[in-house]
Amino acid sequence: MDPEPNILSSALTPLPSSGPIVATNPIKSEFACSEDQTSSSVEGYLDSAATTPVPNVIADEVARVLREGFGNPGRGGHTRAISAAARIEEARRAVAGLLGNVDFNEVVFTRNATAGIDLVRRCWAEPMLGAGSAIVTTRLEHHSNILPWMQIAERSEVELRIAGIDSRGDLDLDHLRKLLVEGGVGLVAVTAVSNVHGGTVDLEAVVSLAAEHGARVLVDASQCMAHRPLLPRKLGCDFLVFSGHKMYAPPGVGVLWASSQAMQEMRSGPVGGGSVDWNDEEPSWREGPELFEPGTPSSDSIAGLAAAIEWRRRMSEVDPGLQDREHSLLRRAEAIVEETPELSIAGTPSRRTGCLAFSTGTIDPNEFAAFLDAEGIMVRAGHLCASPLVRTFDPRGLVRISIGCFNDEKDLDRFEDAVQVACSILA
């Protein structure tokens, strides 16, 4: 196995306060929607926190797999089936490399991060936690990292505890410590980056606190993987999930990484073809990731994820200033909102990654977003699948702007103009 690199703690380390912004981002050509590459499908798209666009080269690879790689992996001895199975394992190794050269047998393919979290609920939390146990999650979470734990608490004697936030909107580590000290905590489920205000959680502190009290840690890395991948083994967490569609892959594929020890503790969940072998009349459950991947996999989406990992690596090499540019564009968006009297920033987290949200004052947030859409700017509005956090700032909802690797100053110019027009007409 290749040597493991240092943890990519840039997800936990503030980037420089300023950096270069280019007026024309060459990465936009990767999303060209005309043969002469004079127009791009991502102009004005500021909603990558919801889903990222798929670069042309990745869409082409998915189409190629659908045309030529249609064998059913692991379900046949002919050439196409064998080739399809090899493609799945190549993708598994690509994900393992992305996560810091972890053991590829620790990588489970799912539909998305939501399915990965629910797999942990069903296959680990429900069988492992009983009366007197507790699960801790936080007010920063997407619904997908709250509802499964609420469901366990409703159906069993497991207690659910919610760690709060401080005045800036950051995770309140003192409150988390207090909840752990109360005892019985078997699992801490926490996001790496808020999908609302982009606040970046100090995961090293969370993992350290959890370890002191013997709790497993699940990290929802959905909002950070497109910007700065996390290395779970170095971080010391037990489970990590993310979705392909938030890192330039097609929808329909996600990842659950589970440490070898945690995976050994997991029980079978969804069952079906591929998760079992038959010995006489009795099933023999497979071990490793296949136990948790019943049924025919989404080979095209999985191939797309592998292609997206390679594409993102290549873009970072071609454009070494990519991360700084994303950060600078986000800081400019923050300045635009702060300088607009009708709007107010939701939270001032100590470190922001990828997105920010704002209240629209007397203007309905959905109406505000619809107006921006008419001006060619696409953002998200509402409760952002994170109602507990959003309602802390504005019960009606917020508007969120998020940055992708393809955005440039032109997108922010258009955003600024659209915001000013919207406020002048709607306020």
Catalytic residues: 385
Residue with tokens 């915001």: 419
Beta strand 344-345 with 282-285 is: unpaired
CA angle (257 as vertex; 255, 261 as ends), nearest 5: 155
Instruction: Supply 255's token pair.
Output: 């990842």
Q: Three-state SS for 131?
A: coil
Q: Are 354 and 224 in contact (CB under 8 A)?
A: yes
Q: How far apart are CA 85 and CA 67, in angstroms?
A: 16
From the list 54, 29, 61, the residue with the least C-alpha distance to 307 is 61
Beta bridge mates, 32 = 40
Phi, psi dihedral angles at 357 (to 5 degrees)? -130, 160
Radius of gyration of the chain (CA): 22
Alpha carbon of residue 360 to chain centroid: 26
CA–CA distances in Å: residue 229 to residues 156, 237, 309: 35, 14, 10
Q: In 144-296, at which residue ranges do the beta strands (DSSP E only) sit?
A: 159-163, 185-191, 216-220, 239-243, 254-258, 276-279, 282-285
In 3-state terms, the chain is what percent helix, strand and coil (to 5)?
A: 45, 15, 40
Q: Quick count: other Cβ atoms within 10 Å of Cβ 123?
A: 22
User: Looking at beta carbons, which pairs linking 314-318 to residues 24 or more positions away fall under 8 Å?
Assistant: 315/27, 315/30, 315/405, 318/26
Instruction: Supply 337's token pair.
Output: 């909102």
- Sign of torsion, CA 322 324 329 333? positive
H helices of 39-188, where? 56-68, 79-98, 113-120, 126-128, 147-155, 173-181
